Amino acid sequence: MHEMSLCESVIELVEDSARRDGFSRARVVVLEIGEIGHVEPEAMRFCFGAVSRGTIAENARLDIVRVPGAGWCLDCAKTVPLAERFGPCPECGRHRVQMTAGDELRVKELEVE
Identify the pLDDT of residue 7: 97
Evaluate whether 62 touches 55 at the Cβ level (below 8 Å): no
Largest Cα–Cα separation, the chain: 52
Q: Whole-angstrom distance between the N-terminal and C-terminal Cα of the chain?
A: 31
37-79, pLDDT tens digit by residue? 999 999 999 999 999 999 999 999 999 999 999 999 999 999 9
Report the distance separating Cα 109 and Cα 11, nearest Å. Answer: 13
Average pLDDT score over residue span 91-98: 96
**All structural domains of the chain:** 3-68+102-112 (3.30.2320.50)
User: 62: closest CA among 50, 44, 40?
Assistant: 44
pLDDT bucket at 25, cuts 50 / 70 / 90: very high
Report the distance separating Cα 93 and Cα 75, nearest Å. Answer: 10
